[in-house]
Chain A
Amino acid sequence: MEAVNTRALSELPPGAKGKVVRITNTEGVRRRLLDMGVVSGAEVVVEGMAPLGDPMEIKVKGYRLSLRKNEAASIYVSLEE
């Protein structure tokens, strides 16, 4: 499944869309992400970055979520063409 089009969420530009494949990394952050709907199979859209370039804003489960790029780096997303 982990084809070429699977990328870390933190690397995606605004407007990119995809589906969450898995979350690696630290326990506390992952727990929180899962609770807030960033689960495998969930659709995410990158909405943009904060004016200083970090954190980023995504849309998931129909609402807006912000997270730091180092937190987004542990979320792998398969891109939609």
Chain B
Amino acid sequence: METGTKTTETTAKAKSEKIIALAGNPNSGKTSIFNDLTGSHQQVGNWPGVTVEKKEGKLTYQGEFLKVVDLPGTYSLGGYTEDELIARNFILFDQPSVIINVVDSANLERNLYLTVQLLEMGANIVVALNMVDEAKAQKIEINKSRLTELLGVPVVPTVATRNEGVKELVAATVSRAKELPPKPLVVNYGQEIEEELLKLEELIKLNPNLNANYSSRWLAVKLLEGDERLRDEMQKCQADRVLVQTGKSIHHLINILGEELEAIIAERRYGFISGLLKEVVSRRSTLEERLTVSDKIDQVVTNRFLGLPLFLLAMWAVFQFTFKLGDPLIGWVEAVFEGLGGLVTGWLGVLGASEMLVSFVVDGIIGGVGSVLVFIPPIFLLFLALSFLEDSGYMARAAYIMDRFMHFLGLHGKSFLPLLIGFGCNVPAIMATRTLESRQDRLVTILINPLMSCAARLPVYVLFAGAFFTANQGWVIFSLYLLGIVLAIMIGKLFKTFIFKGGISTFVMELPPYRLPTLKSIFIHMWQRGSSFIRKAGTIILGVVVLVWLFSNLPPGVEYASQESIIGKIGSVLAPLFTPAGFGNWEAAAALIFGILAKEVVVGTLGVLYGMDEAGLSQAIAQHWTPLSAYAFMVMTLIYIPCVAAIGAIRRETNSWGWTVFAIAYSLVLGWVMAVLVFQGGRLLGLG
């Protein structure tokens, strides 16, 4: 396994630098603790080979540097989801000095389920009893010293959003790092199971490979739970006797207990927690008193009649906030770069630079950087809004409200928002798929997102529909949006059936209490998204812009993007391919290549190629095209290849060139097929 080969390397590093890992349930305030610990010294990337986000940071304490790694938020440490596996493997193989386990004090019972598992593994943990203020407000009293005693590890109360208790947490963590991990916690699983555990443990202890990496009891419990990942590991470690005994024990136990073992083990673990809580927690409130503000908000927000209208209102607000506020800002960015281009042209002219060099610097490089930065306003604004929805707890409700409809389409409730945002711009929309937990759901939502007709495609529709369908312009444009939606649904179903078959998508989801988000966490989140887009997607965008510039200006001496330039030649070569779709001319092919830069560039390119300004362009097109070929071309523009910024976002979010190439390839083929179908079908109906 990948983790195995890396172990030696990372343990060597661990000696020079102590690693602190953060583990905890989603919604436990783990991110806030991470922000408190690391401040602005954060790095966001991906865990190797997966789409799960990895956050790292640095913490200095009394002259000592500590590396802080934020593990994915999980409810458990079974190997069933990508998140759980990452967290578990990190704890097992990267051996952090201390794990800070963040728990939600107002929701202790379920949060301790992860704590118990960490203790069973024998991990060296410090418990951050977070959101003690909320517990207090609900009159839940937690006996901290008793909890420390029973768990056998330090417990520090915190309110991460107000930075309370964080100093104490760091102190406890650093002093813990100097101590040996506690003995693995023993939960009593009942006599029958304990007998089998003992047998398994003995065999595990005999195998030196296993003994080095795992707590024998934890491994035995996991094997009885039916953990497939660990079973595979056993095979690799040639622990045949352990495997045989596992099979025997499971068979025996199911016979006498008459139920699946994983259910019994989970039940006993929760039983252990109930026992513990009886000694630690006292509630002084009646059930009615515990009807919190959050419950009251929920009665309105997920109300049968008000739920949907409120949801639509929220979505409308996000969309307006992102694009209505973002568009003028985009205009400013464009204006700045245009101005900069003008200035540089002037300077280079004075210096006597050749026209070619000026064009390279101004159109290629400055233009390229500009085309990355125009995405900054919508991305920052969208993630400002999304962080607010996420941190406040509304996002989970939005998914809850929309899930029935989205599930009918084969998707998840959380897919709705990214698809909606796609109508504005696919780039932030693809980035917004991060909220989806299941890898399959997320990939499908990313792959079909470019079919949501973004705002950049509208100028193309307006040009062609204006030239040919003056009377029905609105309907023609609407039909394209509709076509995109219908195709997205069909393609989504197709991918779900054939590519992601067998993957389980569940909607078992916590509806966290409503909380007032802090400005700090919202801004950190927004900054991380925006800056990671510039770094990761930016290079791809810039690269393609420069490449297209070169193709338009080479071989030397050709007129910009003329038929003699490389791009013109490529256009001429490709043109026959588009003859069945009705637009087999080199201008159309070249315009489509330029359209990869940004879909609206198609319009500008046609203008250059036909040598027309915007008013004349409409007439020029009316001469060269027919209504049917124009419609086929609009269909092609809608579907073929996501723009380069979207490609960059897909690469960044899927963390895979394979999926990126797939997204390009399927959309290109689909676009061509649809354009041909439209043109040929139209001709058969006598429309051509």
Contact = CB atoms under 8 A, between A and B. Distances in A.
Contacts of A36: 75, 110, 508, 510
B14 to A, nearest CB: 29
Contact of B508 (A33, A53, A61, A64): A33
A39 B113 CA distance: 12
A78 to B, nearest CB: 15
A63 B510 contact: yes
A62 interface: yes
Contacts of A71: 506-508
Contacts of A28: 80, 504, 506
A15 interface: no
Contacts of A65: 508-511
A57 B511 contact: yes
Interface string A17-39: 00000110011111111111101
B270 A66 contact: no
Interface centre among A23, A35, A37, A42, by most B CB within 10 Å? Answer: A35
User: SS class of chain A's interface: helix, strand, loop or mixed?
Assistant: mixed
Nearest to A31: B80
Given A51-B302, A51-B304, A34 B263 contact: yes
Contacts of B307: 50-51
A55 B405 contact: no
Contacts of A30: 260, 262-263
B267 interface: yes
Contacts, number: 119
Interface residues of B, number: 40
Contacts of A31: 78, 80, 262
Contact of B110 (A26, A48, A63, A67): A63
A68 B76 CA distance: 21
Contacts of B262: 30-31, 34
Contact of A54 (B270, B404, B513): B404
B511 A32 contact: no
B625 to A, nearest CB: 44
Nearest to A51: B307
Nearest to A42: B270
B400 A50 contact: yes
A52 interface: yes
A27 B79 CA distance: 13
A37 B110 contact: yes
A40 interface: yes
Contact of A61 (B80, B109, B504): B109
Contacts of B76: 35
Contact of B509 (A26, A52, A61, A67): A67
Contact of A51 (B78, B110, B267, B305): B305
B437 to A, nearest CB: 10
Given A37-B109, A62-B107, A55 B404 contact: yes
A42 B113 CA distance: 14
Given A37-B110, A48-B302, A64 B511 contact: yes
B508 A29 contact: yes
Given A57-B400, A57-B511, A68-B403, A29 B113 contact: no
A41 interface: yes
Given A32-B80, A36-B510, A67-B507, 12 more contacts: A28-B80, A37-B110, A37-B113, A50-B400, A50-B401, A51-B304, A51-B305, A55-B404, A63-B511, A64-B510, A64-B511, A66-B511
What are the 3 tightest A-B residue pairs by CB atom distance, in nearest-first order? Answer: A28-B504, A35-B76, A51-B307
